[in-house]
Amino acid sequence: MDLNQNLRDIHNEESSTPEEAQVQDVVEVLDGTDTSAISQELLATEPPKRGKKGKYQGQTGPRSKKGKEASRNNCKMVHGLRAKKLLMPFEDPKEYEAHAQKIVKTLKPQDAVEQEIIEAYAYALWTSPRYESYEQARASGQFEEKVCSLGPQKIAEKLGLSNHHQVHAPAYISNLAYEISPERIDHATFLLECHTKIRESMEAGDPHSLDWPAALKFYPELFESLNQWLIARGDEIAVFDDEEKVLDEYQLQNPDCLWHDLNCYAYFLFFEVHFMRLKPQIALLLERLYWKATFRPFSGFSDHFVKSQNFAFAQLERLAAYRKMKKKFENLQDDEVEVD
């Protein structure tokens, strides 16, 4: 009997393992050829070792205590109602204990079954606000991302301010939590008045017609504030020289540049004076931009509040049904005692 017939006989047996299928494939390729040397080597070859069968293909997970502890948090939490851990990492166990005690004190469980139902109800009420907290965090992140992409200049443009105001709009214009004290507003108003008086002192708005050392003498606070603002902005040339508070030589020789800096500072002072008044208008503007361009319907977690509320009310229904059933059962027992 030749080799090919032997291999075909092996294939026709009842068992059909992957190794036998491999042998048949070799037969089809080598059919009609001299395979005496190859066949002996092939038949003598041991089948390859395989791992464990099943879903995880032999992966049993971490075996150390530290690894097992770390792997417990691998799954993604959807809403927390069925979480293995009762509380989220940021939730205070003492606050939850106080919350649960209030519920237990109100509903007054009378046995172990009622205790379990009431604890489930307390936990459902506790987890309900998680969705609201999630949505608030998500909306805040989207809001900040959108506002940062707008930038203060774009917000100033939407407010209808001039190009000069847009260029010098401060970064805090997009921060509705930012506060400017009344004293700071009064100081900025005073500095703007000084700027106006200097402009009125010029002849036909020509900076060369003004005695700048005299202006410094009359309005020292304006020039000192301008000097600090320029330094904070990163300008190489400030108002004063390095030794004492006299105008820098470059500023005296280039009054156009000094006047330009004063005007830029005046546009900045505009926001110092009017930001608190503009806040409601800015808030309305940002709200419209947010709802128009940022918000998108979100699915997957949005029904958590409804689910947790329904779960909570279901526990109350369980409690009422159990107490009703227990009372009925007690009445039946009383009737049996009377018959006896």
Q: What is the DSSP string of 96-161?
A: HHHHHHHHHHHH---SHHHHHHHHHHHHHHHHTHHHHHHHHHHHHHHHHHHHHHHHHHHHHHHTT-
On whether residue 67 sits in a domain, the answer given is no
Looking at every residue in the chain, the average pLDDT score rounds to 75
Domain, as residue range, for 252: 159-280
Tell me: do 207 and 247 sit in the same domain: yes
CA-closest candidate to residue 147, choices 286, 293, 318, 335: 286
On whether residue 145 sits in a domain, the answer given is yes
Q: Which residue has the higher pLDDT, 152 or 238?
A: 152
Tally of domains in the chain: 2
pLDDT of residue 242: 67
Cα distances from 177 to residues 171, 279, 280, 283, in angstroms, run 12, 10, 12, 10
Tokens of 54: 């099943």
pLDDT of residue 338: 58
Tell me: do 116 and 184 sit in the same domain: no
The fraction of the chain above a pLDDT of 90, given in percent, is: 19
On whether residue 30 sits in a domain, the answer given is no
pTM of the model: 0.48
- 168 phi, psi to nearest 5 deg: -105, 20
pLDDT of residue 191: 95
Instruction: Kindly indicate the confidence band of residue 123, based on its pLDDT and cuts at 50, 70 and 90.
Output: confident
Q: Between vectors from CA 88 to CA 87 and to CA 94, what angle results, nearest 5°?
A: 50
On whether residue 124 sits in a domain, the answer given is yes
pLDDT of residue 23: 39
Tell me: do 174 and 139 sit in the same domain: no
Tell me: do 133 and 167 sit in the same domain: no
On whether residue 15 sits in a domain, the answer given is no
* Domain's final residue, options 229, 246, 280: 280
Most confident of 100-104, 128-132, 269-273, 295-299: 269-273
Instruction: Kindly indicate the confidence band of residue 145, based on its pLDDT and cuts at 50, 70 and 90.
Output: low
Cα distances from 179 to residues 145, 147, 242, in angstroms, run 21, 18, 34
On whether residue 129 sits in a domain, the answer given is yes
Report whether 81 contacts 127 (CB < 8 A). Answer: yes
Residues 294, 285: Cα–Cα separation, whole Å: 13
Report whether 308 contacts 128 (CB < 8 A). Answer: yes
On whether residue 298 sits in a domain, the answer given is no
Tell me: do 181 and 115 sit in the same domain: no
pLDDT of residue 42: 43
Across the chain, the runs of DSSP E, i.e. the strands, are none
For the cut 90, the answer to whether the pLDDT of residue 266 exceeds it is yes
For the cut 70, the answer to whether the pLDDT of residue 218 exceeds it is yes
pLDDT of residue 339: 53
Tell me: do 148 and 168 sit in the same domain: no
Tell me: do 165 and 276 sit in the same domain: yes
How many residues can be counted in the chain?
A: 340
Residues 315, 65: Cα–Cα separation, whole Å: 36
Tell me: do 262 and 201 sit in the same domain: yes
Tell me: do 136 and 229 sit in the same domain: no
Q: Which residue has the higher pLDDT, 48 or 173?
A: 173
pLDDT of residue 120: 87
pLDDT in tens, 27-86: 444 445 454 544 454 445 555 555 455 555 555 667 776 676 655 545 444 444 444 446
Instruction: Kindly indicate the confidence band of residue 146, based on its pLDDT and cuts at 50, 70 and 90.
Output: low
Residues 219, 202: Cα–Cα separation, whole Å: 15
On whether residue 136 sits in a domain, the answer given is yes
Instruction: Give, rounded to a whole angstrom, the gap between the first and last alpha carbons of the chain.
Output: 93
Lowest mean pLDDT among 207-216, 218-227, 239-248, 317-326: 239-248
Instruction: Kindly indicate the confidence band of residue 174, based on its pLDDT and cuts at 50, 70 and 90.
Output: confident
Tell me: do 166 and 145 sit in the same domain: no
Tell me: do 145 and 173 sit in the same domain: no
Lowest mean pLDDT among 138-147, 243-252, 304-313: 138-147
Report whether 315 contacts 127 (CB < 8 A). Answer: no
Tell me: do 110 and 143 sit in the same domain: yes
Burial class (CB in 10 A: 0-12, 13-18, 19+), 304: buried
